[in-house]
């Protein structure tokens, strides 16, 4: 009897070891399921501003006084702050390694030389450049159209008139949107988030009211073929976001920025609300990646660990919805 149970134990351990071995071999061969991050910023690292950051830091806005110095925008007092990269090379190396390991593609806007470097370092097609413009002072319409026609830029964004206290339907931007519509270029518009006390601390012209998703309606009516996604999902205006998407069939959102800055329970409630309202096919994953390389894992983790989302809903948010919105070929990313 004792001999028999010893034999059974040995058999079980052997079986377990064989399973682990096969699994390890298998997962080494298989690539991670593809992920598209639709909201990345390419910027030159400035060590003087390279502050570490605790995710979900906007959980506390103590009532101060206008006659006192403004509160700190970013909190670094947590068990595991995300480290800011100290150089362009450090950031690029880390970004490329994560993109490779997690089978990622990014839509990135910002510094053109950084975008070129990333494109050269990444697998072909994995860095999709986007051209950001927020005011007619940034660039003439002709220069903008030329940039789009060159073929380097495939997307327009981040467009952020809200930081100028301007509506996205302001007619001063209309010729740019008309060019994007004509050239079939999808457009990302910043709406909603700004951070606690943004007007007092960093952006005096910012207006919370200009982040109302319903302000897009005039623009959408003027340009029926324009493909628009609302960056930051219009947070915190869920009702207006749902009303806008309900009335306008082609509007998508990304969850960038809000996914790692506002309180985590609030982030999950917001995403859940949009899914519950029926928009799981129109939510795209994005980070708003700037200077903290590990922000990618932090943000992907929010979707991966969302117990209110099914496997298919997670795949839609992390990949399928962006493929559909940006008219990409899914077979190139497997
Ligand atoms: Zn933004």
Task: Give the domain CATH number at 84.
Answer: 3.20.20.140
pTM beyond 0.85, yes or no? yes
Per-residue pLDDT, 2: 55
Residue 93, both tokens: 């190396």
Report the separation in Å between the CA atom of 65 and the middle of ligand 1, taken as the mean of its atom positions.
27
Query: For residue 5, what are the domain limits?
Result: 1-30
- Nearest alpha carbon to residue 99 among 125, 81, 80: 125
Report the separation in Å between the CA atom of 225 and the middle of ligand 1, taken as the mean of its atom positions.
23
The rounded Cα 24 to chain-centroid distance in angstroms is 31
Residue 91 predicted with pLDDT over 70? yes
> Helix, strand or coil for residue 63?
coil
48 and 3 in a common domain = no
98 and 44 in a common domain = yes
Report the separation in Å between the CA atom of 196 and the middle of ligand 1, taken as the mean of its atom positions.
14
Cβ(194)–Cβ(212) under 8 Å? Answer: no
Residues 191-205: tens digit of each pLDDT: 998 888 889 888 999
Report the separation in Å between the CA atom of 254 and the middle of ligand 1, taken as the mean of its atom positions.
10
276 and 163 in a common domain = yes
Residue 298, both tokens: 């932090």
Q: Using CA atoms, how far apart are residues 227 and 106, in angstroms rounded to an integer? A: 18
305 and 180 in a common domain = yes
Report the separation in Å between the CA atom of 289 and the middle of ligand 1, taken as the mean of its atom positions.
10
Q: Using CA atoms, how far apart are residues 170 and 177, in angstroms rounded to an integer? A: 11
217 and 104 in a common domain = yes
Q: Give the confidence band of 5 by pLDDT, cuts at 50, 70, 90.
A: low
Report the separation in Å between the CA atom of 19 and the middle of ligand 1, taken as the mean of its atom positions.
46
Report the separation in Å between the CA atom of 145 and the middle of ligand 1, taken as the mean of its atom positions.
22
Report the separation in Å between the CA atom of 232 and the middle of ligand 1, taken as the mean of its atom positions.
7
36 and 21 in a common domain = no
> Helix, strand or coil for residue 283?
strand
Report the separation in Å between the CA atom of 230 and the middle of ligand 1, taken as the mean of its atom positions.
9
287 and 266 in a common domain = yes
Report the separation in Å between the CA atom of 130 and the middle of ligand 1, taken as the mean of its atom positions.
13
46 and 21 in a common domain = no
79 and 16 in a common domain = no
Asked if the bond preceding 158 is cis, omega within 30° of 0, the reply is yes
Strands of the sheet with 104-110, listed across from one edge: 35-42, 104-110, 127-131, 155-159, 187-190, 228-231, 252-254, 283-284
Q: Rounded to the nearest 10 degrees, how much is the dihedral formed by the CA atoms of 144, 221, 195, 315? A: -90
Residue 297 predicted with pLDDT over 60? yes
212 and 78 in a common domain = yes
Q: Using CA atoms, how far apart are residues 148 and 136, in angstroms rounded to an integer? A: 16
Report the separation in Å between the CA atom of 29 and the middle of ligand 1, taken as the mean of its atom positions.
37
**Contacts of residue 109, Cβ cutoff 8 Å, sequence gap at least 6:** 40, 41, 42, 115, 129, 130, 131, 132, 155, 157, 158
Report the separation in Å between the CA atom of 258 and the middle of ligand 1, taken as the mean of its atom positions.
9
Per-residue pLDDT, 21: 53
Q: DSSP secondary structure string, 233-256?
A: GGTT-HHHHHHHHHH-TT-EEE-T
Report the separation in Å between the CA atom of 125 and the middle of ligand 1, taken as the mean of its atom positions.
24
Mean pLDDT of 139-145: 94
Report the separation in Å between the CA atom of 160 and the middle of ligand 1, taken as the mean of its atom positions.
7
Per-residue pLDDT, 135: 84
Per-residue pLDDT, 192: 92
Residue 68, both tokens: 């006192």
212 and 229 in a common domain = yes
Report the separation in Å between the CA atom of 87 and the middle of ligand 1, taken as the mean of its atom positions.
23
Q: Using CA atoms, how far apart are residues 196 and 205, in angstroms rounded to an integer? A: 15
127 and 8 in a common domain = no
Residue 12 predicted with pLDDT over 70? no
Cβ(85)–Cβ(53) under 8 Å? Answer: no
Q: Is 205 exposed, middle or buried (0-12, 13-18, 19+ CB in 10 A)?
A: exposed
Q: Using CA atoms, how far apart are residues 228 and 177, in angstroms rounded to an integer? A: 10
Report the separation in Å between the CA atom of 255 and the middle of ligand 1, taken as the mean of its atom positions.
10
Quote the mean pLDDT of the chain: 91
Q: Give the confidence band of 24 by pLDDT, cuts at 50, 70, 90.
A: low
Report the separation in Å between the CA atom of 192 and the middle of ligand 1, taken as the mean of its atom positions.
8
DSSP 216: G
Number of domains the chain is built from: 2
Residue 39, both tokens: 């909201």
**Residue 204 CB neighbours (<10 A):** 10
């Amino acid at each position: 009897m004792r001999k028999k149970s010893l034999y059974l134990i040995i058999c079980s351990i052997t079986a377990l070891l064989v399973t682990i071995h096969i699994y390890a071999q298998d997962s080494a061969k298989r690539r991670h399921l593809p992920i598209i991050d639709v909201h990345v910023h390419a910027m030159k690292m400035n060590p003087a501003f390279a502050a570490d950051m605790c995710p979900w830091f906007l959980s506390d806005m103590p009532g101060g006084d206008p006659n006192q110095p403004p509160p700190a925008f970013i909190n670094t007092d947590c068990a595991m702050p995300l480290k800011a990269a100290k150089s362009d090379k450090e950031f690029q190396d880390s970004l490329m390694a994560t993109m490779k390991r997690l089978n990622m593609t990014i839509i990135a806007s910002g510094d053109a030389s950084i975008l070129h470097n990333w494109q050269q370092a990444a697998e072909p097609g994995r860095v999709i450049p986007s051209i950001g413009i927020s005011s007619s002072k940034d660039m003439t319409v002709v220069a903008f159209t030329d940039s789009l026609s060159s073929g380097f830029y495939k997307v327009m964004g981040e467009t952020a008139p809200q930081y100028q206290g301007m509506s996205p339907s302001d007619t001063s931007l209309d010729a740019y949107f008309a060019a994007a519509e004509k050239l079939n270029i999808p457009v990302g518009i910043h709406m909603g988030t700004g951070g606690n006390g943004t007007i007092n601390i960093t952006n005096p012209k910012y207006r919370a009211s200009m982040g109302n998703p319903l302000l897009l309606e005039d623009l959408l009516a003027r340009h029926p073929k324009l493909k628009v996604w609302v960056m930051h999902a219009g947070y915190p205006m869920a009702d207006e976001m749902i009303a806008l998407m309900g009335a306008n069939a082609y509007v998508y959102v990304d969850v960038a920025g809000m996914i790692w800055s506002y309180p985590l329970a609030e982030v999950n409630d917001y995403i859940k609300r949009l899914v519950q309202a029926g928009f799981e096919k129109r939510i795209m994953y994005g980070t708003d990646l700037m200077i903290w390389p590990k922000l990618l894992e932090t943000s992907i983790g929010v979707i991966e660990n969302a117990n209110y989302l099914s496997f298919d809903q997670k795949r839609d948010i992390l990949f399928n919805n962006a493929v559909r919105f940006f008219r990409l070929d899914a077979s190139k990313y497997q």
